[in-house]
Structure 1
Amino acid sequence: MTDTRRHVAEFLGTLLLVLVGVGSAVAARVDGGVVVVALAFGFIMLTLVYTIGPLSGSHVNPAVTLGVLLSGEISRRGAVAYWIAQLAGALVAAFILWVLTRWGDVADQTGALGSNGYGATINLGGAALLETVLTFVFVLVVLVVTSRTEYRAATGVAIGLTLAAVHLVAVTLDGTSVNPARSFGPAVFEGGAALRQLWVFIVFPLLGGALAALVARLILGSSRPGPGEHGAATGPA
């Protein structure tokens, strides 16, 4: 399998994650909006694990890629290439949403292109802690469930449900990032406060991903497989 196919898979996967997930936030009505957004993120993540997982591992998230890098299952060069593909996919998805809200008569229910932010319902310290903890939980689940062959059939379900769960917790607080690429795309097109606060939704999800890699190593010990032995958290070695 060529590196190009992996990178294209990560680009397309992140594009779809942001388009569907953030798109649901942009279009969701107030009543039931949180559940709609959480399910949209969870369902698209579940689908991506089973479709592009065999190609790229379906990271579609720089924090997951960092966790995989620290687990020794992807090279630094491979991780950088994944990050570039993920950020590019998020930018294209955000551009599509921006066009829809500007010229497609789509009403933006978030008022900020679904971007992440703090200040109204949570402060900087709270957002930093929330994103660190929730990303830690999500990446830990990814690393653990993808390490066991006996979990393979349920991998997508576990990962998708976890992503939905963390969104149920944080959508009304900071919009839920747990994914720097998801935050990056909308912030670039929204600008203003979203762009000024973007660093929070890059630094602390990455911190959560790094902590998850350390804890996963303690949980799994020497049982973690080598590169390419499972689907949803591998990459080029």
Structure 2
Amino acid sequence: MTSPNTVTGPAVPVTRTAVVQAPESGLTARLSVEALGSFLLVFGGLGIALFNGSGSSAGVPVGIGFGLALIAGLIAFGHISGGHFNPAVSFAAALAGKIKWLQTLWYVVAQVIGAIVAALVLFAVLNVLPAVSGSGGKLTTRTLFNSLANGFDTHSPSTVPLAGALLIEVVGTAIFAAVFLGATQARANRTLAPIGVGLAYATVITVALPITNASINPARSTAAAIFAEGWAGQQLWLFWVAPLLGAAVAGLLFRAFGTGSAVRAGATGVDGDDAFADDNDEDLDDEDIDATLANGEGRVEKKDVVLETDPAVTATGFPGPLAATRADGAADRSAAVEPVAQPAPTTDAQDFFDDKGAVK
């Protein structure tokens, strides 16, 4: 009886699939770059607001500053951790099934720490400025941080009530999180993903700035509130609740309607994930496999998944099983592809099988 894995024809050997666990960044490295990226985001955005003003005539607009800082962080560190730098983004990613909940918790802790350290550096710089230290108490670092803290009602730049602040923060965060989830899919243009995410962030920050001072990031809000006056801490709850609600909308919609990537020929593979990160599970998408088939190379590598093929059979596709194994030890997921019909088998193929017909 002919084995279903037998590839017939005198010049066509059997394709054998080997799954290899590629090295990934450890949790310590991921948390470190999440903290560093959050530091960069807060240091750049709030620093521009403090020292360059919010208007374009006085320097770089605050929204553009936040967007540029995010783009830089994604390019530099996104491939290590996924480039969240924002508790709302991590929450949306968890709801979308991209990262585990325990990892989300650690990400949030690292992001808040990085943001607080950035605000502390700015606070220290303000304390040694002559305009502050020599003002006789009229101008203090806390009053300056009031202009950076998020607020509503009388503490809103436009005295917007709570309902308006809630609405703009929920909608703004939902838009930003949706762009992040979409731009970091396996099938998205990964070269442009940091730019798209950064521009979306700059846009929503610019819109929300005159209403709430633009949170869209609970870590940024927490950092500013710590060094501002007491009212900022009292209103901080809204700037956790609203961004997380917006992130929940984006994450749940993405989970409900997102399609992910097929491995090949309609087969279902592992879940799609951040295009930036090495630590998360990603599909072997058609473009990567097709490129390998075209140039006859014998390996398809995609972050934590490695698929080996035989150059001699690249013209006929993938006879036999096609497997993708997660590097974190989760169960294998395989999708069989129908064998390609060939002439009667020859003894050349027997070298690849044992006496029970299994691939050696």
TM-score (norm 1): 0.91
Residues 1:37 and 1:30: Cα distance change in structure 2 (over 3 Å) = closer
| Equivalence for 2:84 | 59
Cross-structure match for 1:112: 146
Which has the greater radius of gyration?
2
Give the drift of 1:190: 1.1
Residues in 1 aligned to 2:256 and 2:67: alpha-carbon distance in whole angstroms: 27
User: What corresponds to 1:161 in structure 2?
Assistant: 199
Give the equivalent residue in structure 2 for 1:141: 179
Task: Write the deviation string for residues 208-232 of structure 1: whole angstroms up to 9, x where unpaired.
Answer: 0011011222342354963666216
SS at match of 1:52: helix
Conserved? CA contact 1:227–1:234, under 8 Å:
no
Q: Deviations over 1:70-116 (max 9, x none)?
A: 11221121111101100100110111111122223477795515111
Counting only pairs closer than 5 Å after superposition, residues 1-237 of structure 1 correspond to structure 2 as: 1-29=25-53, 31-32=55-56, 36-105=61-130, 112=146, 114-120=148-154, 121=158, 122-223=160-261, 226=271, 230-231=275-276
Counterpart Cα distance in 2 of 1:135 and 1:59: 13
**Alignment RMSD:** 2.4
Closer, same or farther in 2 for the Cα pair 1:12/1:92, shift >3 Å? same
Matching residue's letter, 1:200: L
Structure 2 residue runs of 5 or longer lacking an equivalent are: 1-24, 133-140, 263-269, 282-327, 329-360
User: TM-score, normalization: structure 2?
Assistant: 0.61
- Between the aligned partners of 1:181 and 1:166, the Cα distance in structure 2 is 16
Q: Mind listing any 5+ residue stretches in structure 1 that lack a counterpart?
A: none
Counterpart residue identity of residue 19, structure 1: F
Identity percentage over the alignment? 34
Compute the displacement of 1:30 (Å).
5.5
Whether contact under 8 Å (1:49, 1:156) holds in the other structure is yes
Contact 1:11 1:89 in 2 (8 A): yes
Asked if 1 retains the 8 angstrom alpha-carbon contact of 2:38 and 2:114, the reply is yes
Deviates more, 1:35-44 or 1:135-144: 35-44
8 Å CA contact 1:116, 1:174 repeated in 2:
yes
CA distance 1:233–1:93, change in 2 (3 Å): farther
Structure with more of its chain in helix, by fraction: 1
Cα offset, 1:28, TM superposition: 2.6
* Contact 1:74–1:227 (Cα < 8 Å) also in 2: no
